Structure 1
Amino acid sequence: MREPTTLSGRRKDDHLRLAHAQRAEAPRPTDFDAVELVHHALDGIDVAEVSLATAVDTLSWDAPLYINGMTGGTDRTGTVNRALAIAARETGIPMASGSVGIALDHPETADGFRVIREENPEGFVMANLGIGRSVEHARRAVELLEADALQIHLNAVQETVMPEGDRGFSAWAGLLEQIVAAVEVPVIVKEVGFGLSGRTLTRLHGMGVRVADVSGKGGTDFLRIENARREGSAAPDYAALTGFGLSAPACLLDAPADSPALLASGGVRSPLDVIRALALGARAVGVAGAFLSPAVEGGAEAATTAIEGWLTQLRELMALLGAPDPAALQRTDVLLRGPLAEFTALRGIDAAAYARRSQPGTDHSSRTTRSR
C-alpha cells in the first residue's frame, strides 16, 4: 500500500490510526449514561409494528441511523471507505464521506472518495467539506460523489489544536450562508465532536440551514488526535483543553424551538444511545467509531454484520418502549441525571418535563420544555 505524499494525506492516515487507537481504550462514561429511560412494563408493542423510517426535514430515510463522515483520500483510508460503502449498501442506511477537501486540492486522491458512490450507486450519500471553502468547492464536492446532501463541518477546536490548522474563523458564517444559498442539495451543518449550542443552532436556522448534526463530545476526540500529532515538536501542548465542548445529549436539550431538524452524533456507543438521542429530539443518529473498528479489522462483511445488529436491536428496543416509529420516542419518559441534570438547571431547561412526557395532555415536543 502506497504511503501518502502530501501533508494532508499523511494527516488523513494519522487521523485513521489515532481514531482506531482510541476505540481500543477502555470505555469512558458519557452524558448518554445520564439519560435514563423510564420503563413502563405494559407499554410494549410487537416488533412487527415498528417502522424504523424517519423524516429529516424533507429527507426520508429507511432508518434513523447513518454512517458519519470519517476518512478518505489515501490508499489506506480508501479501503476503509470501500468497506463502509458496501455495508451502507447492504443495510440501506445513509453514509457520509470524510472531508473531501484533500481531493479538491489533490485530484489524484479522489478515488478514495469516489469509491463510496461506486460501491453504493443507489444509496443516500453525503459529501463532507470543511467550513471556510468557497461555493465552487462546495459544488465540486457534491459532484465528486454525486452526493444527495452536503455536510459542512465546523471544527474551530480541531483547527486550534492542529499544528498546521487555520485560526481565522471570522469569515466562516458568511461563507456558510453563501453555500447554503447556492448549493442545490440539502446542506447539513455538523460539528466534529465539540457540539452545537442552542445559540449556534438559532444562528444556523437564521442562515437558512435546514438540518444540523450536533456532533458532541464523547466519541472520537479530535482534540486528542491533533494534540498527539504535536508530540516531539516545539509546539505548545493542548492537553489542558481535554473535555472541552458539549455532549450530544446536552446539545439536544439546549436546542431551541427554532432549530434546524436535528441529527445527533458523538459518543454513540450502542443502539441504546441511539434510542436516547432520538428520545431527546434527534431525527436520526450518526455513528463513526463503532463502525470504524469492524471495517478496519474485518472489512465490509464485519461492518455489515455490525450495522445489521444495531438495526435489529433498535427495532426491539422501540417495541419494548412502545414506540411504533422513531418520532414516537419523543413521548418516552426520560430522567436526566448527574452532570446533565446540572447542565439543564444552569441553562434554564425544565428537566422535570422530560420525566412525565407520557402523561395525557403533555406537549411532546422536546424543544418546548425550556423555561427561559
Structure 2
Amino acid sequence: MSSAQRKDDHVRLAMEQNRAHSGRNQFDEVSFVHHALAGIDRPDVSPATSFGGIQWQAPLYINAMTGGSPKTGAINRDLAAAARQSGVAIASGSMNAYFKDPSCADTFRVLRTHNPNGFVMANVNATTSLDNARRAVDLLRADALQIHLNTAQETPMPEGDRSFSSWAGQIEKITAGVEVPVIVKEVGNGLSRQTVLLLQNLGVRAADLAGRGGTDFARIENGRRDGADYAFLHGWGQSTAACLLDTQDVSLPVLASGGIRHPLDVVRSLALGARAVGVSGGFLRTLLDGGVPALVTQITAWLDQLAALQTMVGARTPAALTRCDVLIHGSLRDFCADRGIDTHRLAQRSVLPDPLDTLHDLTGSTR
C-alpha cells in the first residue's frame, strides 16, 4: 500500500471512530468545587499562555493530524486557513511521507503558505535523522518541532517499526541539533510521569501528554490488518486526565491533548497543569462536515467560552486555573491512589497560600 493511501485511510478510519465514540471519558471524573463569589470581571481575563520560551495568545491549538496525499493536503490547507483566522497555533501530521517522497512536500507546506504569520509546528517520528528533522523545520519555516512517540501504533501496524531502544537517544540528538524548541508528544496512549522526567533530562521544551480518550491509532492500524488480530490493544494506555495528574510535580511544561470534547475539558486540563490544550479529531470532524467557516466558528466560540469559564471561577490567566479546587472521582481517583497522587491537596488549593503572596510578605515586593 502506498504512503498516500495509508494517510487517506487514517483520516477515514479516524472519522469513523470519532463518529462512533460514546462521548464519555475520564475527564468526566474531574469536577470543580463551585465557589459562588469567586468570579471576576471579564475585562480582567487574559487567555495568553507561555511555556518553554514559547508564547501563545490562547491556550488552544490545532494538533497534529495529516499530510502526504492530495486529499490530506487539502485538509491541511483548510486547517491552516482556520488557524490563521482564529489565531491559534497548529501542528502538521507526521512528515515521514515527505522524507520518502519529496513530491508530496506541498501537502505539508500549505500549513505555512496559508498561514504565513501563525505559529506552526513540524512533526517527525523518533527515528528521524537530524538532517530530516531540519528539513521538516525548513519546509514549514516551523516555530517548533514535535517528535511523536507511537509504540502502541507501530506494534499492530503491518509495516510498523519493531525497534524502539534508540528512540530516547535520537530525541536527545534532534533536540540538541535543531534551532527551534522541541515538543515530544504521544499519539493517544499517554505519557507517564517517568517518561516526562526522562524527556526533561533529554532537553526537550515541553511534553504533549496526548492520552487515551481521543483517536485510538492502535485500533486504526489493527483495522488495516487482514485478521484484525491486535484488538486486545484497543484502549491501551492512560487517559489525558490521568497523565495530567501523574505529572503534577514535574517541572517540564506539559500540554494536554487526546479526548478533548468541549471547552470544559480544556479548562479541566489547564486546572490540572496543562499550559495549553490541543484538539485533533473533533476539529477535523467539524472541518469535514462544515468547511473552514464552521471550524473558525467553533474555535472562536471555544475561545469565548474559555474566557467565560475563567471569569466564572476567578482565574485571570490560564495558569491561575491551577489554584482552583478540583475533585477527582471514580476510576481516576483509584488511579491516583495507586500512583501515590494526593487528591486532597487538589481539592483545597484555593485556601493554600499563593507562593507569590508569600514572597511578597517576605520581601515587601509588589506583584
TM-score, normalised via structure 2 length? 0.95
Contact 2:219 2:233 in 1 (8 A): no
Q: Write out aligned runs for 1:204-243 (5 A).
A: 204-230=199-225, 233-234=226-227, 237-243=229-235
**Which residue pairs with 2:363 in the alignment?**
none
Q: Which amino acid aligns with 1:114?
A: R
Q: Quick one: distance in 1 between partners of 2:23 and 2:250?
A: 33
**Which residue pairs with 1:264 in the alignment?**
256
**Which residue pairs with 1:334 in the alignment?**
326
Q: Which amino acid aligns with 1:90?
A: Q
How many equivalent pairs are there?
356
Q: Which amino acid aligns with 1:191?
A: E
The CA deviation string for residues 245-270 of structure 1, in whole angstroms up to 9 with x for no partner, is: 01111111111534421101000000
The CA deviation string for residues 60-119 of structure 1, in whole angstroms up to 9 with x for no partner, is: 100000000000111111111111101100111100000111011101111111111000
Q: Quick one: distance in 2 between partners of 1:360 and 1:183?
A: 41
**Which residue pairs with 1:43 in the alignment?**
38
Contact 1:135 1:178 in 2 (8 A): yes
**Which residue pairs with 1:179 in the alignment?**
174
2:86 maps to 1:91 = yes
2:191 maps to 1:196 = yes
1:363 Cα offset (Å): 6.4
Contact 1:158 1:223 in 2 (8 A): yes
SS in 2 for 1:60: strand
SS in 1 for 2:93: strand
2:147 maps to 1:152 = yes
Q: Write out aligned runs for 1:1-372 (5 A).
A: 7-230=2-225, 233-234=226-227, 237-255=229-247, 257-361=249-353
Q: Which amino acid aligns with 1:268?
A: I
Contact 1:201 1:259 in 2 (8 A): no
Q: Quick one: distance in 2 between partners of 1:327 and 1:352?
A: 20
Segment of structure 1 superposing worse, 196-205 or 290-299 = 290-299
SS in 2 for 1:24: helix
Q: 1:308 to 1:256 in 2, by over 3 A?
A: closer
Contact 1:85 1:119 in 2 (8 A): yes
The percent identity for this pair of structures is 56
Q: Which amino acid aligns with 2:150?
A: N
Q: Which amino acid aligns with 2:347?
A: A
Q: Quick one: distance in 2 between partners of 1:45 and 1:161?
A: 50
The CA deviation string for residues 207-254 of structure 1, in whole angstroms up to 9 with x for no partner, is: 111211000000011011111111xx25x6111122210111111111
Q: Which amino acid aligns with 1:91?
A: S
Q: Quick one: distance in 2 between partners of 1:277 and 1:203?
A: 22
Segment of structure 1 superposing worse, 345-354 or 238-247 = 238-247
TM-score, normalised via structure 1 length? 0.93
1:360 Cα offset (Å): 3.9
SS in 1 for 2:5: helix
SS in 1 for 2:34: coil
1:14 Cα offset (Å): 0.5
Q: Which amino acid aligns with 1:347?
A: R
SS in 2 for 1:161: coil
Q: 1:154 to 1:140 in 2, by over 3 A?
A: same
SS in 2 for 1:303: helix
Contact 1:83 1:303 in 2 (8 A): no
Q: Quick one: distance in 2 between partners of 1:164 and 1:323?
A: 47
Q: Which runs of 5+ in 2 are unaligned?
A: 357-367
The CA deviation string for residues 180-204 of structure 1, in whole angstroms up to 9 with x for no partner, is: 1101000000000000000001111
Q: Quick one: distance in 1 between partners of 2:219 and 2:35?
A: 41
SS in 1 for 2:155: helix
Q: Quick one: distance in 1 between partners of 2:352 and 2:75?
A: 48
Q: Which amino acid aligns with 2:178?
A: V
Segment of structure 1 superposing worse, 181-190 or 26-35 = 26-35
Q: Quick one: distance in 2 between partners of 1:215 and 1:45?
A: 31
1:361 Cα offset (Å): 2.1
1:26 Cα offset (Å): 4.2
Contact 2:248 2:272 in 1 (8 A): no
Q: Quick one: distance in 2 between partners of 1:260 and 1:162?
A: 31
Q: Quick one: distance in 1 between partners of 2:111 and 2:130?
A: 23
SS in 2 for 1:95: strand
Q: Quick one: distance in 2 between partners of 1:258 and 1:340?
A: 19
Q: Quick one: distance in 2 between partners of 1:64 and 1:57?
A: 14
SS in 1 for 2:13: helix
Q: Quick one: distance in 2 between partners of 1:256 and 1:331?
A: 13
Runs of 4+ in 1 over 3 A off after TM superposition: 256-259
